[in-house]
Structures are given as structure tokens and as C-alpha cells.
Amino acid sequence: MEKRHQVLVVGGGPVGASLALELGMRGISVGVVERRTNPQRIPKGQNLTQRTLEHFYYWGIADELRSARAMPQGYPIGGVTAYGNLMSEYWIQPPQRETVRDFYFQANERLPQYHLEEVVRKRMADFPNIEVQYGWTAETVEQDDTGVRVSIAEEDGSGHEVIEADYVVGCDGARSVVRDQIGIVRSGSDFDQLMLLAVFRSTELHKGLERFPPRSTYNVLHPDLKGYWQFFGRIDVGEGWFFHAPVPADTTRDNFDFHGLIQEAAGFEFAAEFDHVGFWDLAVSVAEDYQNGRVFIAGDSAHSHPPYGGFGLNNGLEDAVNIGWKLAARLDGWGTDALLKTYSEERRPIFRDTGEDFIAARINKDAEFLERYSPEKDEEEFARVWKEREYTGGMRAEIYVPHYEGSSVVMGEDGAVCGAHGVHSFTARTGHHLPPQPLSSGRNVFEELDSGFNLLAFGAEDKSVQEFEAAAKARGIPLNCIRDSFEGGREKYEQRLILVRPDQFVVWTGDDGPNDASAIMGQVSGQD
């Protein structure tokens, strides 16, 4: 007898496992197919944003995640950027996500992806409605109006099965079988550059970098490398490191001096023992659509880019939350096919902006800087512009504000578009993430948010609240109301009534009662 789930997730890495957890906590029957029996012990996807930690808070494992970090508690997450090599007199410490900490409910975190996966895998096991098959891969995907059939095979070739599901989400990486099976193509910028990932151990490197304040990453901009970074990252404090760098196209594990390369980037000689040497292609790509019928893609299946800034994993987890609550709504009966279509409508423009404007553009700007300025050409001018990069580098976190202003299920302004550019603010803005604020009870508003829609009513008339409650009840939409005064920080929202959807994004605001609460609830749920 064939297995059947409401949702089948193909790929149980951090994005797929998190999606399964999001759905499982909402009572959905979930199947997960993952080819690796254990997380891959390669330190990638380490930087987790404040927004990502909000998800882990709602999944009930934020404390477990922080406890799993390899770095000491409180060790600085930021980085250093040096010119030429790490012994250069020219180095800066651009502020990073600490500049936007107050706009989120949780602090950011840093730990290897495999530790994250271990925490999520353990949490999935708490839910009997989540069934995971490790050591299996998808081979074919077929769909019709009633559901999706996925044939899977054990990695060792010993078994074959067919799983049926109402919906399928491909979270199976950059070489996604699911994406290829449903005929979605990707496009973007290919830099035609081979990159190295080396994992090694060296206590001498740790001692050699004591010239810097404690930091987690060390970046090198070398004038010969056309804006491509040489990048050291700590796995722990004392011994473990990973290193990214451009290498010639014909580089193999056997024909290149990797030890010499990391010493050159560091600027001094040190002993090192290598645990892993691998390669990846420098490219930025995004799928032309994130959905085909009943099948969706998320994470690296939908978009990929260099491991700069932690954008990949964090965007993938945001994909998971976005499609997760929408699938649950559809399966619970109050969501619609129109709501499901907004997943691609919302998420694709954000990664398009992220990939092109925050990653590819950064590489090109670094290349332009290196070509135009150098200590040899004009030392005084170089020093001035180099120091300016400390400020401009810190601005990236401040202007990276993913939002859904142009979404069809957001009551936004005419002509607005979804994207990643913006300015952080405590004002409650439609299409934007809700900033945290304390309630008069002493709890934060994020501690009171329910898993459905939430109406924040701060000094608002009871009649206005009752109209929303009646409209939501009539449409079968879960709605939680949070009442409080319009003071104590809540006045920063600049609106007395704020409607927040299940992923903590604002969809409507107002000071007075709604003209038509039913119409509002109909639009933000995709029912109308």
C-alpha cells in the first residue's frame, strides 16, 4: 500500500527539516525524504540572522540552538576585512547585524549548519505526524488535479517506494531533482570562477590573529583577485577553521598547494592539518518560478549564491516559513490556491534583489575599488577610501529589509513591489516584519502572537476589534486579539490597529475601525 501524506518534503537539510517542523507544529501530516543519514560535517551556513532566530523561538528550540554553538557564549560574531593579507596595516571592522538588533525579538547566532540540523532533527522526532526516511532520494515526480506521486529509492539501491501527497516541496538543493522533474529553470549571474572550500585545524593561526579583537570571520581583499574574497571563518576558538578562496579553473585536490594559499592569505607561516578540500562554482541564480501546480521548491532548489553574508540559509528558512503557513492554511480549509500562488510572488523578488544587489553587486564593487585604489597609486587617498568602507560595509545590514509591500495578500500602496531594499523602522508598515515592543504586562508582543492571524489593538475601540473578530469567524480564519494601551513604546508603531499574519508580517494597519473588515480578511487570506 502506498504511503500518503498531506505534504511531502523532498530533502531534509536545514530548510526541508525546518519546513517539516513548521507544518508539523500546525498539525499537518508530513513526510520527509532525505538522502543523508547524518548531517554533512562541513561548516557551512553558519550565520543565522535575528529573523531566523525568531523562527527557532516559535519552533521551541531557540535555547537548544544557542546551546549547540561551537563558539563560546558571547563570542563576537562580527568580522575583520583586510587588504592584501591579514597582516596588512589596512584592516577594518565593519559593524554587522548588531546595528539592527532592536528591530527583532531575538539576537542572531553563529554555529555550523550540521549542529543546526542536529537540533532540528531532534525536534522533528517530537511530532508523530512527521515521518522521516533517511537514506532515500526522489527519482520521479508526477502530479494531477488530485495530488502528487513521488517515486523514491534507497541510496544503496535496495528498496523503491511510491509516496502520494496533496502537495510536494522540493528542498533538495542546487541540483534539485524535484525542480528538474517539474520543468522549472533557473537564471542569474555566472562569474565563471572556481572557488575552494578548505576545512583545517591550526592553533598557530589562532595565535597569529591575536592582533585583532576577537572576531569570527577574517576577510581578505587582494588586488589580484577581482573582488573575490579570501575568507577565513572560525569553527571554534582555538583550532577549527574553514577557508573560501578563488582558485584556477583546473585546480584539483592533487595539483595545488592549499597550505601555501592559506599562509599567503594570512600573511605568515603556520602549521595546519586539512580535514576537507572541496570546490564550488561562483554563481548567483534564481528559479523563474517557485511553483508548478501542487509542487513547490524552496531553499537552494529555488535560489543559490556564494556563501557571502549568510543570505542562502536564512533566505531558505524564510521560504520554509512562508510556504509552510500557507500550505497549512490551504489544508485546514481556510486558505486558497490563490494564497499558495503568493509564495512565489513574495519570495522570488526578494532573492532576486538579494542575489543581484547584495551579493553580485558587492563583488563587482569590490573589483572596482581594487582597480581604482591602491597604496602604491596614492597612499593617502587609499587610506581615506578604505576607512570609508568600514561605514558603508555596516550599512548593508541596515538597508537589507526583505518585505512584501507589493503582495496581493497585503493591503499595501498601489504600485508597491516586493523586494529586499528598505530601511528598518519601528513603525508598523504593511508588508513588513513586525518590530517587537513590550506590552504593559512586561511581556513582549512576540510572546503573545498566536500561530494564526493576530490583531494588535492598542487603545483602539472595542467595536473595531469586534468587527474583525466577526469577519474572521465568518470566514473560518483563526484570529487572536491582543489588546493594550497606546503607550510604553507601542506608540512607535504609529497605528492603533495592526493586523499581523502567521509569519509575523503586517498586512493592514489603521487608527480607526475598518471600512469593511470582511473585505480585509478576505484579501489577506487569499479568499477574495
Close Cβ partners of 398 (under 8 Å, ≥ 6 residues apart) = 99, 100, 423, 424
14-25 helix and 113-124 helix, angle to the nearest 10 degrees: 30
Placement of cell 572541496 in the chain: 278
Q: Is the dihedral of CA 388, 394, 397, 398 positive or negative?
A: negative
14-25 helix and 311-332 helix, angle to the nearest 10 degrees: 30
Class of domain 425-524: alpha beta
Measured distance CA(449)–CA(510) in Å, rounded = 19
**pLDDT of 97:** 79
Measured distance CA(156)–CA(196) in Å, rounded = 29
pTM for the whole structure: 0.95
CATH 3.50.50.60 residue window(s) in the chain: 3-74+107-187+286-346
DSSP assignment of 324-348, as one string?
HHHHHHHHHTS--HHHHHHHHHHHH
The CATH number given to 3-74+107-187+286-346 is 3.50.50.60
Close Cβ partners of 288 (under 8 Å, ≥ 6 residues apart) = 184, 185, 186, 187
Cell numbers that stand for 82 in this block: 583586510
**pLDDT of 512:** 84
Pairing of strands 3-10, 160-170: parallel
Nearest by Cα to 306 from 395, 218, 195: 195
Please report, as a single letter, which amino acid is at residue 10: V
Close Cβ partners of 241 (under 8 Å, ≥ 6 residues apart) = 199, 200, 201, 202, 205, 232, 233, 234, 235, 272
**pLDDT of 282:** 85
CATH 3.40.30.120 residue window(s) in the chain: 425-524
pLDDT tens, residue order, the chain (528 aa): 579 999 999 999 999 999 999 999 999 999 999 999 999 888 887 889 999 999 999 999 999 999 998 888 888 888 999 999 999 999 999 887 788 999 999 999 998 899 999 999 999 999 999 999 999 999 999 999 999 999 999 988 889 999 999 999 999 999 999 999 999 999 887 788 999 999 999 999 999 999 999 999 999 999 999 888 899 999 999 899 999 999 999 999 999 999 999 999 999 999 999 999 999 988 889 999 999 999 999 999 999 877 766 788 999 999 999 999 999 999 999 999 999 999 999 999 999 998 888 888 888 899 999 999 999 999 999 999 999 988 776 677 789 999 999 999 999 888 999 999 999 999 999 999 999 999 999 999 999 999 999 999 999 999 999 999 999 999 999 999 999 999 999 999 999 999 999 999 999 999 987 889 999 999 999 999
Measured distance CA(410)–CA(335) in Å, rounded = 15
**pLDDT of 394:** 62
**pLDDT of 1:** 53
Q: Maximum Cα–Cα distance for the chain, whole Å?
A: 75
**pLDDT of 182:** 97
Indicate the DSSP class of residue 151. Answer: E
DSSP assignment of 279-325, as one string?
EEEEEEEEES-SEETTEEE-GGGTEE--SSTTHHHHHHHHHHHHHHH
**pLDDT of 219:** 95
Under 8 Å between Cβ of 480 and 449: yes
Please report, as a single letter, which amino acid is at residue 100: V
